Amino acid sequence: MLKVFLADIAPKNLSKEILQDRMNELENLVDTFWWLVILTKIQRKDQPDFKTYVWKWKLEEIIQEMINVWANLLIVWNVLKPSQIFEINEQLRHASEKAWLKDPIKARDRIDLILKIFEKHAQSVEAKLQIELAAIKHMWPRIFGMGMELSRQWWSSGSGWWATRWIWETNTERMKRHLKEKQIKIKEKLKEFEKMRELHRQSRIKKGLAIIGIVGYTNAGKSSLLNTLTNKGVLAENKLFATLWTNVGKLFLFTEPEKWIWKEVLLNDTIWFIRDLPPKLIDAFSSTLEDSVESDFLLHIIDASDPFIQERINVVNEILDDIGAKQHRVLVFNKIDLINENKLSEIKKIYIKEDCVFISVRDEIWLENLKNKIISLI
C-alpha cells in the first residue's frame, strides 16, 4: 500500500472551509485506490513558486517529513507546469538517494491522479479511448520535462554538450510525433462512436421518445437515481468518478393512470463533474457529453447534505454552459434523508425561484414528485 502525502498551495483569501473541502476531495480521490494518506500540508501563498510551485522552504520541509514517515508518493492539489513537476521529482530523487531509500519518492499533481482513476474505472472501448486521449492532452506539455530526463541519461556518455542537446531534441520531437499520430487515430475511432450515437439519437427522435439527461457533481447520486427509476443496474459506488460513460435507461411513466396510458422516456446518466478540471480534459470527453447537449431537458442532481451546495451547482453550470447545454435544468436535491427539517426548509427558501424537486433515492422519498415533474415537462 502506498503512503501518500497531500499538499495544497492556496491563496490567502480562500476560506478555511473551502480549503478543507479541497483537501477532503483530494483524500477521497486517493481513497479510490485504497492508498493511505498519512500527512497533509497546506501553504498559504497568493503566488506559487515559479520553479517548483511549492515554495522552496516548504518543499524541503515536506520532503523531510516524507522521508521520516517512509511516504512513497506526494500528490499536489494544484495543476503543475511540466517544468515544476519535473523539478519536484528531481529534488525528491536526490533526497531519496541521500536517505538511501530503495525506491525514490515520486510526485504527481491532482490531474495525474484523476487520469489514473479514469483508467481504473474505464470499461467500454469508447471510455478507454477517451481516457487515452485525455492522457495525451495532459502529457503533451510535459514532454519538455521528459526530454530533460532523456538528456540527463546521455550526459554521462561523454558525447559532449552538443551531442546531448541533439539527442534530447530528437527524442522529444519523436515523442511529439508519436503522440500526435496517436491522437489522430483515437479521434478517428471516437468519430465512429459519435456517428453511432447520432444514429441512436435520430432513431429515438423518430419514435417520439423524450430524452432526459442526468448531470451533477461527482458522487451526488446520479447512477443510483438511474438504477432506482429504470432498474438499469449500473455501477453506483460511493466513490468519485465511478461512472465514466453514458448509461441509458428506460423509464415508464403513467401519464393517465386511470386509463392505463403510459409514456416511455429515456434517461441518460452522463459522466461526472468536479471543480477545476482543465478544459483539455473536458474536451477529451466531448463525445460523451454530447448526450447532455442533445437532451430535451436536464435533471441536475445535487447532494442536499453537502455543505457547499452552491459551489457544486456553479461548477456543473459552468461546464454545461461551456459545452453548449442550454436547455431547461431541474434542480433535484437528493439525500434529503441526511438533513433535518430546518436544513430542508432553508434550502427550499434559498432556491425558491428555481425549478426544484426534493428526493431521497436511498429511502425512495418523494420519487413520485420527480416523476410528476418529468411528466409535466414532456
E strand intervals along 60-101: 73-76
Q: What is the pLDDT at residue 345?
A: 97
How far apart are the C-alpha atoms of 270 and 215, rounded to whole Å? Answer: 6
Q: Find, among 214, 358, 230, 227, the residue nearest to 272 by Cα.
A: 214
Containing 106, the helix (H) or strand (E) segment is: strand 106-109
Same domain, 26 and 148: no
Q: How many helices (H) and strands (E) does the chain have?
A: 13, 10
Does residue 330 belong to any structural domain of this protein?
Answer: yes
How far apart are the C-alpha atoms of 220 and 74, rounded to whole Å? Answer: 28
Instruction: Give the range of the structural domain holding residue 174, as residue numbers without chain letter.
Output: 125-186
Q: Give me the mean pLDDT over the 203-231 stretch.
A: 87
Q: Angle of helix 16-31 relative to helix 110-121, nearest 10 degrees?
A: 40
Same domain, 223 and 307: yes
Does residue 146 belong to any structural domain of this protein?
Answer: yes
Strands 261-269 and 247-256: antiparallel
Q: What is the pLDDT at residue 107?
A: 94
Collapse the DSSP code of 250 into the 3-class scheme (helix H, G, I; strand E, B; otherwise coil) and give the result.
strand
Collapse the DSSP code of 269 into the 3-class scheme (helix H, G, I; strand E, B; otherwise coil) and give the result.
strand
Q: Other CB atoms closer than 10 Å to residue 303's CB: what's the count?
A: 20
Give the burial class of 377: count Cβ atoms within 10 A of its Cβ; 0-12 exposed, 13-18 middle, 19 or more buried. middle
Same domain, 238 and 317: yes
Quick: pLDDT tens for 66-109: 999 999 999 999 988 888 998 999 999 999 999 999 888 999 99
Q: What is the pLDDT at residue 377?
A: 93
How far apart are the C-alpha atoms of 70 and 351, rounded to whole Å? Answer: 48
Q: How far is CA 322 from CA 257, 283, 316, 326, 330, in A?
A: 40, 10, 10, 10, 18
Overall number of domains in the chain: 3
Does residue 12 belong to any structural domain of this protein?
Answer: yes
Quick: pLDDT tens for 328-367: 999 999 999 999 999 999 999 999 999 999 999 999 999 9
Q: What is the pLDDT at residue 160?
A: 47
Same domain, 117 and 241: no
Q: Are 156 and 180 in contact (CB under 8 A)?
A: no
Q: What is the pLDDT at residue 237?
A: 52
CATH assignment at residue 102: 3.40.50.11060
Same domain, 109 and 144: no
Q: Are 74 and 40 in contact (CB under 8 A)?
A: no
Q: Are 346 and 307 in contact (CB under 8 A)?
A: no
For the ranges 123-127, 163-167, 252-256, 341-345, the one whose mean pLDDT is highest: 341-345
Query: Following DSSP, what letter does each residue of 37-79 receive, concatenated?
Result: EEEEEEEE-SS-BTTTBS-HHHHHHHHHHHHHTT--EEEESSP
pLDDT band at residue 246 under the 50/70/90 scheme = low
DSSP structure class, residue 53: B
**Last residue of one domain, picked from the residues 72, 98, 121:** 121
How far apart are the C-alpha atoms of 137 and 134, rounded to whole Å? Answer: 5
The residues, any chain, with a CB within 8 Å of residue 141's CB and separated by 6 or more, are 81, 82
What is the rounded end-to-end Cα distance, in angstroms, of the chain? 50
Q: What is the pLDDT at residue 170?
A: 60
Same domain, 17 and 54: yes
pTM above 0.75? yes
Which residue reads 501518500 in cell numbers? 4
